[in-house]
Structure 1
Amino acid sequence: MTTAAADPLYPTPDPDPFFAPPSDLDGMAPGDVVRTRHINTGPYIGTEGWQVAFRSTNSGGNPILAVTTVLLPMGAKNPPLVSYQALINSLGTKCNPSRSLFNGELQDSAGAMLPIIRGWAVSLPDYLGPNVAYGAAKLSGMVTLDSVRAVQRAEEIGLADSPVAIAGYSGGGMAAAWAAALQPTYAPELNLAAVVAGGIPADLEQMARGLGFEPHPGFGLAFAAAMGLEREYPDRLPVSAQLNHTGLWFRDFTQNECRRFLLFHGALRSAEQFAASKSLMDSAEAKDVLHENSLRRFSGTPTAPMYLWHGVYDTLTPFDSVKEVADRYCQDGTPLTFVSYDIAEHMTTAVVGFPDAWNYIESRFRNEPVPVHC
């Protein structure tokens, strides 16, 4: 049954009480540990696992409970820590790494194991928050930073003094890059050895306008991002109020679903089929939300060593917006390496670029001189 058109549709909450916020969350500081638990790491042989629930902040500045999952090489003492922002791109709580690492929904779970192979610990935060607000980039950056704080503060995990790097690609790259940009003001006490990010959606308005109203193979993810942003900004981005009956049906149909489901069922659909009105993109408030979550529009400058990579002909995430961000960072003094590839297919660039990104992190963990290649 379709719910009221004007109301955002949130995911079904995870029934596990571990994910429930405590009554005193308001009195905690960002990154404070709420609870931890030791977990069975299942298919990730040779690892020890923990989950950490912690206090973070949403886009409105209000406290939220967030969770990260930590895998450590068995027997390792004080290993370096990589906060890996996985490809969530989803709307359901079952799609967050705390669940998708173990239920088959996390498509880059193999990539998440690469730090383990190098002897590092890896933390995979549910960086879209409890409402799985896909597209809310600023939120993702804050949750990512608070997840690092929380892992370091969880004494039983033993990573308080470990060097830290942040990594991600595509939606995960957006979270990683936003964490780097926010860190000097939101978490100035964190010492980040490196941030690596590729395939970054750096300008959400540009992407939305590029998608237009024509059928598109990636429409399912674009629609999910609109729903996620509405969840995070219910008063400022009333997407549901702009949907026709078919659009509301698809919203309800995808409410709790993950990336593959969204791509399959959204392929070659369009905003034209779902929109009752084309006026939303003309709203100044809607543009403000998109700008607020676009790295291209954020004036903050990272201070941590950064490695960015992107496909020049990427048909999903435009190159020019990322290049503009990289140029500004270089001008403002960020120790940046920016690498471009003459590749159009979005995920191919991830496969090509990650080996050098991991090597960049390893060099920073070894305290080697930081290269700058703008």
Structure 2
Amino acid sequence: MNPALKRHPVVAFLAATTAILLAISAALLPGKPARAAQLAGTVLSSATATLPPELAPLANGKRISYLSTDVRSIPITATGLILTPKTGKNNKIVVWGHGTTGLADQCAPSVSQAVFWPEARAAIAELLRRGWTVAAPDYPGLGTALPHPYLVGASAARSMIDSAKAAKNLDATLGTQYAIDGHSQGGQGALFANELAPSYDGNLTLKGVAAIAPVSNADLFAPLIPGTPAQGYLVMALYGLQAVDPTVAPQLILAPPAQARTGVLQSGCLYEILDAYDDLTASELLVGGALPAPVVAKLSKYANPAQKAPSAPILLVQGTADEAVPYVITAGPLLTQLSAYRQPVEFIEIEGATHDGAVFESTVQVANWISGRFS
């Protein structure tokens, strides 16, 4: 981790010690994983945050570290932002789930405005204008010493729900109703959170989930990525799987030319990673030029939402010109899968919108939809 990004040493020690003790108790004593979920959302540290210029006039920000849990229900430390509207504040909470930033600590949006993407700023600004407190988690492993389980939806989901708990723990005037608004990786995490919420969010009540260009059906499109400009996403996904499943060994899957470039995963963030792998052929990226079938199966297991019933209404937003998440995946299989459950699903198609453009063009529509759920 970049030393400049670390918390104060005393705070870091206390946070780490708390998480370790909770982890030991969860592992050794019966019933403790459930208690770990109850303690998740406990705020370990809080400091004033410098917000991007688009948000500074609208909100006061706190960068927090808080307890969350990993996919095994073991306590971990996570980080993020809590943004409180300066005017018109009500008692509702909205979680913002950011799109892909990278794998390394410097790729945590709460500490680096360079990866606090413009579309995220636009979406959050509209949420703040509605008077909602916004919880913006970094996701596990971004900004902490853990590896980041990139595209493991249940991992991001836990940190999203726990960030809402943390917001309420910081501000007793907030109510129990919350919604989730996520883009890309964050949209995927939002859909997973919708499945997890009834057994995980405690006294909170999830009212709705908006997912903009969410990652889904990875087993359908991941095998098509080798040899395309999206190869960096696939490399990150391999290391994301390894963070929760040690049987996934990227060093045995990546071909030597790709292995030679893995340093960028720690030295850079999203665009540096995409650039580093952009010019490789499929055979230079992967041994044999294709993803092994067991890896595709693991992507399906860990990265695909809609495997369980959602607990709250869903808004899907997708641009038809999306260059990162295929329109045909969201409008086809994902919409069909979600519609098979009992919760209502609304689909907004934005003609000609790119991956990020879908966020910019839907900020008001999404906020209006969330407002309807709160009503």
TM-score bin, normalised by smaller chain = 0.7 to 0.9
Contact 1:47 1:73 in 2 (8 A): yes
- The 5 A counterparts of 1:230-309 are 230-233=242-245, 235-278=246-289, 280-283=291-294, 286-295=295-304, 298-309=306-317
- The 5 A counterparts of 1:291-370 are 291-295=300-304, 298-312=306-320, 314-322=322-330, 323-343=332-352, 345-365=354-374, 367=375
1:107 is aligned to: 117
Can you give the 5+ residue segments of structure 2 that lack an aligned partner in the other structure? 26-34
Change (3 A) 1:158 1:260: farther
1:87 is aligned to: 99
1:54 is aligned to: 66
Q: CA deviation at 1:363?
A: 2.2
In 2, Cα distance between equivalents of 1:49 and 1:315: 32
In 2, Cα distance between equivalents of 1:358 and 1:307: 11
Change (3 A) 1:266 1:280: closer
In 1, Cα distance between equivalents of 2:214 and 2:299: 15
Q: CA deviation at 1:332?
A: 2.1
In 2, Cα distance between equivalents of 1:91 and 1:294: 16
In 2, Cα distance between equivalents of 1:119 and 1:344: 28
In 2, Cα distance between equivalents of 1:193 and 1:342: 28
**Other structure's SS at 1:55 match:** strand
Name whichever structure is richer in helix by fraction: 2
- The 5 A counterparts of 1:7-86 are 14-16=5-7, 17=9, 18=11, 20-22=15-17, 23-26=20-23, 27=25, 29-30=36-37, 31-42=40-51, 43=53, 44-74=56-86, 78-86=90-98
Change (3 A) 1:272 1:350: farther
Aligned letter for 2:154?
K
In 1, Cα distance between equivalents of 2:110 and 2:356: 23
2:194 is aligned to: 180
2:31 is aligned to: none
Contact 1:236 1:289 in 2 (8 A): no
**Other structure's SS at 2:372 match:** helix
Aligned letter for 1:209?
P
Which one of 151, 154, 158 corresponds to residue 138 of structure 1?
Answer: 154
Aligned letter for 2:21?
D
Q: CA deviation at 1:85?
A: 0.7
**Other structure's SS at 2:346 match:** strand
Q: CA deviation at 1:292?
A: 1.6
In 2, Cα distance between equivalents of 1:279 and 1:77: 51
Can you give the 5+ residue segments of structure 1 that lack an aligned partner in the other structure? 1-10, 368-374
**Other structure's SS at 1:250 match:** coil
In 2, Cα distance between equivalents of 1:106 and 1:272: 34
**Other structure's SS at 2:262 match:** helix
Q: CA deviation at 1:76?
A: 5.6
Q: CA deviation at 1:191?
A: 0.6
Q: CA deviation at 1:280?
A: 4.8
Q: TM-score, normalised by structure 1?
A: 0.82
Q: CA deviation at 1:90?
A: 0.6
In 1, Cα distance between equivalents of 2:192 and 2:277: 27
Contact 2:36 2:73 in 1 (8 A): no
Q: CA deviation at 1:278?
A: 4.6
Cα RMSD (Å): 2.6
1:198 is aligned to: 212
Change (3 A) 1:327 1:206: closer
